[in-house]
A and B are shown apart, each in its own frame.
Chain A
């Protein structure tokens, strides 16, 4: 291993990991919404999905079935959104694009996963990016060790931790906090996802997965609390309702009730002293 940042990262200004010890808390959903918010502000955003056995990112961006093309310089990511001047603002890379059937399982042990992540870090032609968001699988194992090692010299800004409010979830996220400490990854803040559900019939809020667990976790560990995101089934509808003919997700998302929450989360992150920058 060389002690230099990978060449593919040379034109990337900020690198942010999205982590959680727990599965199904909304890492991919948070990654997607952060990417949409940043792209909506005109930033160039890349999304790298290193969940190899359960990649969700292609589905979230309505890009299932797209292919990755190999150029002389490396893999070209899928472009999910461009501005009026045809500047690509949203690029995605996921193992989901490399499978010939969406139902195929990827049955890989650690070493194979490690080498795929190495390739994802070194061989993707991102070009110029303001932000690269890295979506991860749950746990603290091969994928996490691999990405931490690959990013050791890449001036990573840090990690955003996602949790749901209940104890069962925060217990696993505590382990992820310890992982970040050991791997020397700065924790930028905690997002509490699935925090309450407002009944569409009577507007009564029910805390389906309890409430306040993320806030409490951030206080105990002296980590910034970035915000609480409620359960909003209309977001799932928006993701699932995407067709070739529909408006771009970036445009649709601006009208979502969650957009203002993520705008403030992203603003919060931007005002932090993000370490990298070329």
Chain B
């Protein structure tokens, strides 16, 4: 017999039952859980009784706290190291270049936060006030929040299981005093697990505009990105578009082009066509992007005329169109 993982319940509940639900089960999450006729003698009775009833009361507080934010965009990818944080920082820099826009950047990568270094604010820390946690201001109109601001040492390991990560994400959404924002861009870790389930569950009420998917051209990355797209569809997250990062490399010496992560299966563009997703373009590999990110400088400010900057600004423009913010 070939073993297989059942996909019937893709969004798994937070609890585990001792046995399958019996006939006439009122439902483990219902108001009557543990009290129905069918519950007498059921091995799940204790579990169902102890589950919190009704919707999470914090969702209302989160919705309230995020009510003054115009657009909320997730930056997602199934794969690590494709440039999610780089793109989040680029989005933040590009949007905040317009002085009339208030921009926030939230880093949900709890175990490997990269956004603060890319925005040049890794040494900062968060202040707590009556109104909640004050984010770190990178510029007058650009604020950021990350676990990095709370670590005792910059290399402290955050060895947390999912439940603890979820609790922090909740506080980021509920307690950060953003004030009024035109855009909140949310950087995420790779995968389709706790952080992704939680952010979707907790922000749904507040109105997520959708997700920007980042990939690199090779099939090993696209394979994971497919899974993320599958997740978005199942979770009801709108996909605003896909951008292919690290697309080609132009040798600074001879100007010859090479495909470092060769798109053997057609790259991001073919995937978009297959799955019916807007393709927002490709950004070439430019070693100066990595250098700027290491130093916390804005690549877009330093090299505004480079092909990579032009491609990135093009993606930003597309995204603003996709969320209905004509500029």
Contact = CB atoms under 8 A, between A and B. Distances in A.
Contacts of A140: 111, 157-160
Contact of A69 (B2, B112, B223): B2
B155 A178 contact: yes
Interface stretch (A8-16, A94-102, A250-258): A94-102
A79 to B, nearest CB: 15
B182 to A, nearest CB: 27
Interface string B165-194: 100000000000000000000000111111
Given A105-B10, A107-B10, A208-B249, A69 B1 contact: yes
Contact of A107 (B2, B12, B218, B294): B12
Interface stretch (A17-25, A80-88, A152-160, A269-277): A17-25
Listed residue (A108, A109, A167) with the most chain B CB atoms within 10 angstroms of its CB: A109
Interface of A: 21-25, 28, 53-54, 56, 59-60, 67-70, 75, 95, 98-114, 137-142, 144-145, 164, 166-169, 171-172, 174-179, 182-183, 197, 199-202, 204, 206-210, 231, 233, 236-237, 239-241
B161 interface: yes
Nearest to B9: A107
B262 A233 contact: yes
Contact of B256 (A104, A137, A139, A202): A202
Interface residues on B, range: 35 or more
A111 B191 CA distance: 15
Contacts of B234: 105, 107
Interface string B2-38: 1111010011101010000000000000000000000
Given A166-B290, A172-B112, A201 B254 contact: yes
Contacts of B228: 105
B219 A24 contact: no
B260 A240 contact: no
Q: Interface SS of chain B: helix, strand, loop or mixed?
A: loop
10 contacts: A53-B190, A105-B231, A107-B11, A111-B162, A141-B162, A168-B85, A199-B251, A210-B290, A233-B262, A237-B264
A178 B157 CA distance: 6
A23 B2 contact: no
B254 A202 contact: yes
B12 A108 contact: yes
Given A110-B162, A201-B254, A206-B287, 14 more contacts: A21-B111, A53-B224, A100-B4, A106-B227, A108-B193, A109-B12, A109-B194, A140-B111, A141-B165, A168-B118, A182-B159, A201-B251, A237-B264, A239-B220
B314 interface: no
Contact of A171 (B79, B155, B262): B155
Contacts of A67: 2-4
Interface of B: 1-5, 7, 10-12, 14, 16, 78-82, 85, 110-112, 114, 117-118, 154-163, 165, 189-194, 196-197, 216, 218-221, 223-224, 226-231, 234-235, 249, 251-254, 256, 258-262, 264-265, 285, 287, 290-291, 293-294
A236 B262 CA distance: 7
A24 B227 CA distance: 16
Given A67-B3, A233-B259, A236-B218, A110 B161 contact: yes
Contacts of A68: 2-3
A20 to B, nearest CB: 9
A101 B117 CA distance: 38
A75 B224 CA distance: 24
A141 to B, nearest CB: 5
Given A24-B81, A240-B218, A95 B159 contact: no
